[in-house]
Chain A
Amino acid sequence: MSEAAFHALAEPHRRGILRLLRGQPRSVNEIAEQFDITQQAVSQHLKVLRDAGLVAVRPQGQRRLYIVRPEGLAGLRDFLAEFWPDNLQRLKQAVESGEPANDGA
């Protein structure tokens, strides 16, 4: 955990932004809608998070989406140690929810 990352996480809005982005990538506008702060303030928080290596930007068409960097926090291993159990649960739900993934489905 770098100093920059620690500093970045010491602010509640930035922790909130990270939690939000963990769910799915979002644009600045979409992030700002979730908080009672201006879009400008959100942009500044995102800059701090980017400088700390905690989030990254991915262009998608005309939009710029912010994502959590998988290796951004303490360790890649820790990220994956949560990632895989979560995703296997999603796999279980997907398979058991019925519809076989057949051709032409």
Chain B
Amino acid sequence: MAGETVTATVHIDAPPERVYEYFTRPEAIVRWMGDYAVLEPEPGGQFTVDVKGAPVRGRFLHLDPPHCLLISWGYAGSDRLPPGTSTLQVRFTAEGSGTRVILEHRDLPPAERAGHASGWTHYLARLAMAPTGNPGPDPGMPAPDAAQL
């Protein structure tokens, strides 16, 4: 399971108790991530969120309200990250009058090949600038057929 980790953090102007709820209550989580959620915030309880149609399926592994959450994270039907494979750790720390959220998404499968690592935005931008080499057969763009009308 030794894989890669993605880390992200944010400061939120609200106390940890309140931020914590946005990970454990369905009606709160869908206000920032996903459009459907079933959450059972207890050890072993399900963590189900559909994020833009992508079916995230996992379980609450450890809960220490309002300080820390450990959640397993995978995608139903995914070959590369099926449910149970990766782990999300979210820590909530008081910072000033607000909360520092530190998120670590661990145990991600390593990239297939170093050097091919480029995010969506970067890759699409690069490709848009590149000359179109060999476009190959293009199934799109049927010829105008106004003559048939």
List chain A positions with a Cβ less than 8 A from chain B. Answer: 1, 7, 9-15, 18-19, 22-25, 37-38, 40-41, 44-45, 47-48, 56, 58, 65, 67-71, 73-82, 84-85, 87-96, 100-101, 105
Across the interface, do A85 and B111 meet the contact criterion of CB distance under 8 Å?
no
Query: Which of B11, B14, B54 is close to A67, meaning CB atoms less than 8 Å apart?
Result: B54
List chain B positions with a Cβ less than 8 A from chain A. Answer: 4, 6-14, 18-19, 21-22, 25, 27-28, 31-33, 52-55, 75, 77-81, 101, 103, 105, 108-112, 116-121, 123-124, 127-128, 132-133, 135-136, 138-142
Across the interface, do A70 and B54 meet the contact criterion of CB distance under 8 Å?
yes
Q: How far is the CA of A88 from the CA of B91 in the complex (A)?
A: 13
Across the interface, do B33 and A90 meet the contact criterion of CB distance under 8 Å?
yes
Across the interface, do B136 and A7 meet the contact criterion of CB distance under 8 Å?
yes
Across the interface, do A87 and B27 meet the contact criterion of CB distance under 8 Å?
no
16 further interface pairs, Cβ-Cβ under 8 Å (given A24-B53, A45-B140, A71-B79): A10-B135, A11-B138, A15-B124, A15-B127, A19-B124, A41-B142, A47-B139, A68-B54, A71-B80, A74-B119, A84-B6, A84-B7, A84-B105, A91-B10, A94-B28, A95-B14
